[in-house]
Amino acid sequence: MRRYESYKDSGVEWLGEVPSHWESFPLFVQAKISSITNHIDKELLSVYLDRGVVKFSDVDEKRTNVTSLDLSKYQLVRKGNLVLNNQQAWRGSVGISNYEGIVSPAYLILELSNKFDPHYANYLFRNGSMVSHYLIASKGVGTIQRNLYWGNLRRTPIFIPPLSEQQKIAQFLDDKTAKIDQAVDLAEKQIALLKEHKQILIQNAVTRGLNPDVPLKDSGVEWIGKVPEHWESFRFKRVVEKVKDGTHGTHSRTEQGYPLLSAKNIFNNGIQITDNESLISEYDFKLITSNGFPRKNDLLVTCVGSIGRCCIYPFDEPMAFQRSVAFLRLNKKAFPGFYRYFIESNCYQEQLKTNTKLSIQGGVYLGTLIDLYVCFPPLLEQQTITIYLDTQTAKIDQAIALKTAHIEKLKEYKSVLINDAVTGKVRVSV
């Protein structure tokens, strides 16, 4: 793509040069605060990171129950207004509204002058460079809550081309980003198909085995269906020697010590430990792990929150876990790898769903985990099936990883494209 004929120094370190003919001004010169209340008859709006300003009625998962709130203090938003979630703007929760409605009293609403084309302005103010500036203009501790203040934002330098050029840039970005979004959507659908194929592969292997010609019999369990004649089906507890969950206690966090892991660390492909884990003292660690759990080759199953993820404990030394993780130790007739896959299968997961306690954070009793039905092939066959699934699922996981990386590159390209267009790094021709 071409560059403009001439550039000038913006005077802003993060922006660098901008086209010479672009107009510059502090934000407050062409934007003013709007805070009009008592419009309870208007439609409720919200602002999302990935979608900008949306109708609250179009959001599938409601973040709050607004029906009990006093809407008289909610602020009026007109079409073309810039709406910023003052607590999440630093993450990109901003956008130009295409609707008239009302938003939270905590939001920041700016009425833009006619210097801005609304369509272009949506790209400009949601652009990564602007989002970085919202972070600078926000105050708070850590990343949990940072509040954006107009007093800090109002002098933000803005550089824009003439209206006709803004419209061309917006048209160009609409076309390019639509094609990128289509490519992302296609890749996401391909990932969904790969995951479905993986699940079918696992389900068939752990309930039917690897021999397509083997005679079958009714397992007597609705969830499982037919199984090879020489297999058994029974409740999981027949092959589980011990079951226990992590600590139920409250432990003080320390700057140095041992990690206290939870369900968020457990995935079907293993344990994931980051550098930002909560740490506990050596005393608490020894107290939690004094019973010897978990041990190498135990099954770890998430039983609170994201229920039913499972992996094999790979370490020789114990680690400390919270109560959201259950440890299952199998007897010598059961191969851990086979039952790791069985827990991942639909027939076990569906049983889990019907037995999950409904609460703010769903959970399942330890007794329930081992009271569900499983298949029981001969030990050698369990091992053979595990080896087969290890090989086949690794191929699928690799394909998913490649598709995921492709999506990330597309999203990165989209971000760079928008940034380059609205900061004048490239010249758009339509």
Is a pLDDT exceeding 50 seen at residue 56? Answer: yes
Residue type at 343? I
Residue 146: pLDDT band (50, 70, 90) is confident
Whether residue 377 is preceded by a cis peptide bond, meaning omega within 30 degrees of 0, is: no
CATH 3.40.50.300 fits 23-160, yes or no: no
Is a pLDDT exceeding 60 seen at residue 340? Answer: yes
Residue 57: pLDDT band (50, 70, 90) is confident
Residue 110: pLDDT band (50, 70, 90) is very high
180 close to 190: Cβ distance less than 8 angstroms:
no
Is a pLDDT exceeding 60 seen at residue 66? Answer: no
The backbone torsions φ and ψ at residue 259, rounded to the nearest 5 degrees and listed phi first, read: -70, 145
43 close to 57: Cβ distance less than 8 angstroms:
yes
Residue 269: pLDDT band (50, 70, 90) is confident
Please give the pLDDT value at position 144: 58
Model confidence pLDDT, tens digit, residues 13-54: 878 899 999 999 999 999 999 999 999 889 999 898 888 899
Please give the pLDDT value at position 58: 77
Please give the pLDDT value at position 426: 92
Name, in order, each residue with C-beta under 8 angstroms of 358's C-beta and a sequence gap of 6 or more: none
- Minimum mean pLDDT range among 60-64, 93-97, 108-112, 337-341: 60-64
Average pLDDT over residues 401-425: 96
Nearest to 83 by CA among 64, 120, 110: 110
Please give the pLDDT value at position 275: 87
Is a pLDDT exceeding 70 seen at residue 67? Answer: no
Name, in order, each residue with C-beta under 8 angstroms of 329's C-beta and a sequence gap of 6 or more: 240, 241, 242, 243, 295, 298, 299
Model confidence pLDDT, tens digit, residues 189-220: 999 999 999 999 999 999 999 999 999 999 99
Percent of the chain topping pLDDT 70: 95
Model confidence pLDDT, tens digit, residues 72-103: 899 999 999 999 988 888 888 899 999 999 99
Residue type at 219? S
Average pLDDT over residues 359-371: 82
Residue 430: pLDDT band (50, 70, 90) is low
Is a pLDDT exceeding 80 seen at residue 186? Answer: yes
Please give the pLDDT value at position 374: 97
367: buried, middle or exposed (CB in 10 Å: 19+, 13-18, 0-12)? exposed
- Minimum mean pLDDT range among 108-122, 279-293, 396-410: 279-293
Q: In 10 A of CB 35, how many CB atoms?
A: 11
- Minimum mean pLDDT range among 10-14, 107-111, 322-326, 405-409: 10-14
SS3 of the chain: the string is: CCCCCCEEECCCCCCCEEECCCEEEEHHHCEEECCCCCCCCCCEEEEECCCEEEEHHHCCCCCCCHHHCCHHHCEEECCCCEEECCCCHHHCCEEECCCCEEECCCCEEEEECCCCCHHHHHHHHHCHHHHHHHHHCEEEECCCEEEECHHHHCCCEEEECCHHHHHHHHHHHHHHHHHHHHHHHHHHHHHHHHHHHHHHHHHHHHHHCCCCCCCEEECCCCCCCEEECCCEEEEHHHCEEEEEECECCCCCCCCCCEEEECHHHEECCEECCCCCCCEECHHHHHHHHCCCCCCCCCEEEECECCCCCEEECCCCCCCEEECCEEEEEECCCCCHHHHHHHHHCHHHHHHHHHCCECCCCCECCHHHHCCCEEEECCHHHHHHHHHHHHHHHHHHHHHHHHHHHHHHHHHHHHHHHHHHHHCCCCCCCC
Residue 65: pLDDT band (50, 70, 90) is very low
- Minimum mean pLDDT range among 86-90, 301-305, 347-351: 86-90
Most confident among 68-72, 270-274, 335-339 (mean pLDDT): 335-339
Please give the pLDDT value at position 429: 76
CATH 3.90.220.20 domain extents, the chain = 23-160, 210-376
Is a pLDDT exceeding 80 seen at residue 361? Answer: no
* Average pLDDT of the residues of the chain: 91
- The length of the chain is 430
**CATH homologous superfamily for the domain 210-376:** DNA methylase specificity domains (3.90.220.20)
Average pLDDT over residues 143-151: 77
Average pLDDT over residues 348-369: 83
Please give the pLDDT value at position 356: 80
